[in-house]
Amino acid sequence: MWTIYKKEIRSFLSSLIAYVVIAVFLIVTGMFTWLFKDTSVLDSGYANLDPLFSIAPIIFIFLVSAITMRSFSEERKSGTIETLTTRPVSDMSIIMGKYFAGLTLVLFSILPTLLYYYSVNKLSINPEQTGIDKGATLGSYIGLLLLGAVYVAIGTFASALSDNQIIAFLLSMFLCFFFFIAFDFLSDLEFLKNSDFSTEWLGINYHYRSISKGVADTRDLIYFLSLTILFLGFTKFIFGSRKW
Amino acid sequence: MTIRVENLTKIYGPQKAVDNISFELKKGQIVGFLGPNGAGKSTTMKMLTGFIPPSSGNAYIDNINVEEQPLITRSRIGYLPEHNPLYLDMYIREYLRFMAEINNVKNPKKRTEELIELTGLTLERKKKIGQLSKGYRQRVGLAQALIHNPDVLILDEPTSGLDPNQIGEIRKLILEIGSEKTVLLSTHIMQEVEAICQRTIIINRGKIVADAATTELGKRNDTDIVIYVEFSKEISESDLRKIPEVKNVSKGSQPNSWHINTTESQSCKIALNKLIAGVGGYILEQKEEKQSLEDIFQKLTRNVDDL
């Protein structure tokens, strides 16, 4: 698995995908957090990172889809999948190697934003004692990482479905978008409104917001983990279907 | 170090790509897997390497079932797939290193350098695979197949698309490494099996139509000899057909030249001499056209409905 992981990371670095993804993420979140008047921390008057955490899931829909779209599509298109799968590695280690490589890239895009955290804390009225809401921010970071974990699983799955990278990209974007926010809109529909069971609960956004409050609820954790495992399971199923 | 295939069948929809084939390869053999395009060569190889499962039947590497313990059999096979797929954006070293690690080679770095040397990539070693010519890419493909020093080599059309010099070099390489391994190589070029394979398996429409030592294969059809003869004077076809040894006659490219099929070349030649002497002419040229492997191949793989 780690051999595949290393190879994927190297290819992210050599193809410049890694740099572009990290740069785009930082530029866009940076602008929303510090520059744009409507969302900027400086104008909001509160010492928190809400602008970052509300825009990041949307940007990740694009970026994660772009990271993962080639993982299986390209191997299938170029035929290298044949050399790879006839080596003594299991399907699962190929999938996990590619999955963790994608997740690492997400992690490294998020890491530099710790600088935002430091800055906002410094700018707050009393940095030493109260400062930024540490619990909520930590929760938000965990939430963002878990969201990234789900997105990467979805993207990997989409890539396994098609040998066309553009189709994989679009499919991944659609699925990420759907799972992130669509259930919020669906829950507003008349016929889904009255049920005791909240449709909203099915969406990522509900759990993401819940974790962002700084409350480590195991139900949210389980939700994120199950969704990740579900999509990795689908990926294994699709990847194994070449043998039918 | 053996390959054994038992009643292997692969069905795609209504079509039988591989139809109930069985064969066995022993250590140290280089065996040519010969057949026209679409005969089922690649499909058979894909089943041997475990890339696709057979519809029925079994394949064994060293008596281990390919489907039951794929990780073990794969580690003993070196495989060069058709069209030689490679990661074009990787450097040669980087790629071979990766393949070494994925094959659990003990000292990947050292082994990579060894293979670069062995396959003659030393001068190109700092290039990306995408920058290489087809011949060098083929060497990278071969290096990749050899990196874990496998007992069994499965090479799907290793020389296709190369120029004659490159073909010669790749063949030499296969011959060198083939002496202590079991090699199954597919091709649709007859000269290739003549040049390097001790044994030939000819496959057509998913079925094995011949399986013999390459030299035997040539002899087998020697019963039918073709004599090319050029006379100085005109001889009618009916006169030629009167000779009892002559089985068939067809006109040659030169005036008064003929291709004559016979089973007994000696007495047929004498009869031809007598015939031309009878009309006061001479034989200008006469040669025996040995049936090449090519003819045998064509004969064996000619589709039934074309006849």
Residue B201 C-alpha, separation from nearest chain A C-alpha, in angstroms: 24
Count of domains forming chain B: 2
- Candidates B44, B90, B97, B102: best to mutate against A (most CBs of A within 10 A) is B102
In chain B, which residues have their Cβ closer than 8 Å to the Cβ of A80?
85-87
B307 in any annotated domain:
no
Long-range contacts of B7-11 (CB under 8 A, 24+ apart): B7/B56, B7/B57, B7/B58, B8/B44, B8/B47, B8/B54, B8/B56, B8/B57, B8/B58, B8/B59, B9/B54, B9/B55, B9/B56, B9/B57, B10/B40, B10/B43, B10/B44, B10/B47, B10/B52, B10/B54, B10/B55, B10/B206, B11/B55
Residue B51 C-alpha, separation from nearest chain A C-alpha, in angstroms: 6
Paired tokens of B24: 């066995």
Question: Helix A91-110 to helix A134-161 angle, to the nearest 10 degrees?
Answer: 140
Residue ranges of chain A whose CB lies within 8 Å of a chain B CB: 3-4, 6-7, 10-11, 14-15, 78-90, 242-243
**A25-66 confidence digits (pLDDT tens):** 999 999 998 888 888 888 877 778 888 899 999 999 999 999
Together in a domain, B29 and B176: yes
Q: Is A215 helix (H, G, I), strand (E, B) or coil?
A: coil
One-letter amino acid of B175: L
Together in a domain, B118 and B229: no
Q: State the Cα–Cα distance between residues B3 and B83, nearest whole angstrom.
A: 23
Residue A10 C-alpha, separation from nearest chain B C-alpha, in angstroms: 9
Domain boundary among B220, B237, B266: B220
Does residue B50 register a pLDDT over 80?
yes
CATH code assigned at B234: 3.30.70.100
Together in a domain, B209 and B82: yes
pLDDT of residue B75: 92
B15 in any annotated domain:
yes
Average pLDDT over residues B45-57: 90
Average pLDDT, chain A: 89
| Contact between chains at A80 and B87 (C-beta distance less than 8 A) | yes
In chain B, which residues have their Cβ closer than 8 Å to the Cβ of A92?
none
Does residue A70 register a pLDDT over 80?
yes
Task: Give the pLDDT band of residue B265 (cuts 50, 70, 90).
Answer: confident
Together in a domain, B186 and B102: yes
B300 in any annotated domain:
no
Average pLDDT, chain B: 85
What order of strands is seen across the sheet that includes strand B56-61? B15-25, B3-12, B56-61, B64-65
Together in a domain, B205 and B241: no
Together in a domain, B191 and B247: no
Residue B290 C-alpha, separation from nearest chain A C-alpha, in angstroms: 41
Does residue A12 register a pLDDT over 80?
yes
DSSP H or E stretch at residue A241: none
Together in a domain, B171 and B23: yes
Domain boundary among B189, B205, B220: B220
B295 in any annotated domain:
no
Together in a domain, B175 and B265: no
Q: State the Cα–Cα distance between residues A205 and A91, nearest whole angstrom.
A: 31
**B145-173 confidence digits (pLDDT tens):** 999 999 999 999 888 778 888 888 888 88
B58 in any annotated domain:
yes
Least confidently predicted of A38-52, B67-81, B85-99: A38-52
B302 in any annotated domain:
no
pLDDT of residue B231: 87
What domain range includes position B253? 225-289
**ipTM, two decimals:** 0.86
CATH code assigned at B107: 3.40.50.300
> Which residues are CB-contacts of B92 (< 8 A; sequence separation ≥ 6)?
B116, B121, B124, B125, B126, B127, B128, B129, B132, B140
**B287-306 confidence digits (pLDDT tens):** 877 666 667 777 777 655 44
DSSP A242: G
Together in a domain, B237 and B164: no
| Contact between chains at A83 and B81 (C-beta distance less than 8 A) | yes
Paired tokens of A183: 């259930």
Together in a domain, B144 and B166: yes
Together in a domain, B194 and B274: no
Count of domains forming chain A: 1
B137 in any annotated domain:
yes
Quick one: what percent of chain B has pLDDT higher than 90? 29
pLDDT of residue B220: 55
Q: Is A199 helix (H, G, I), strand (E, B) or coil?
A: helix
Strand partners, B262: B225, B246
In chain A, which residues have their Cβ closer than 8 Å to the Cβ of B75?
87-88
Least confidently predicted of A107-116, B33-42, B65-74, B99-108: B33-42
Q: State the Cα–Cα distance between residues A134 and A114, nearest whole angstrom.
A: 12
- DSSP string of chain B, one letter each residue: --EEEEEEEEEETTEEEEEEEEEEE-TT-EEEEE--TTSSHHHHHHHHHTSS--SEEEEEETTEETTTSHHHHHHHEEEE-TT----TTSBHHHHHHHHHHHTT-SSHHHHHHHHHHHTT-GGGTTSBGGGS-HHHHHHHHHHHHHTT--SEEEEESTTTT--HHHHHHHHHHHHHHHTTSEEEEEES-HHHHHHH-SEEEEEETTEEEEEEEHHHHHHHTTTSEEEEEEESS---HHHHHHSTTEEEEEE-SSTTEEEEEES-HHHHHHHHHHHHHHTT--EEEEEEEPPPHHHHHHHHHS-GGG-
Domain boundary among B220, B247, B279: B220
A198 CB neighbour count, 10 Å cutoff: 13
Q: What angle do CA A34, A38, A40 make, to 5 degrees?
A: 20
What domain range includes position A207? 2-243
Q: Which of B49, B89, B102 sits opposite A14 (nearest CB)?
A: B89
**Residue whose pair of structure tokens reads 């029925």 in the numeric block:** B56
Q: Which of B49, B87, B104 sits opposite A86 (nearest CB)?
A: B49
Together in a domain, B251 and B175: no
**Residue whose pair of structure tokens reads 């066309």 in the numeric block:** A164
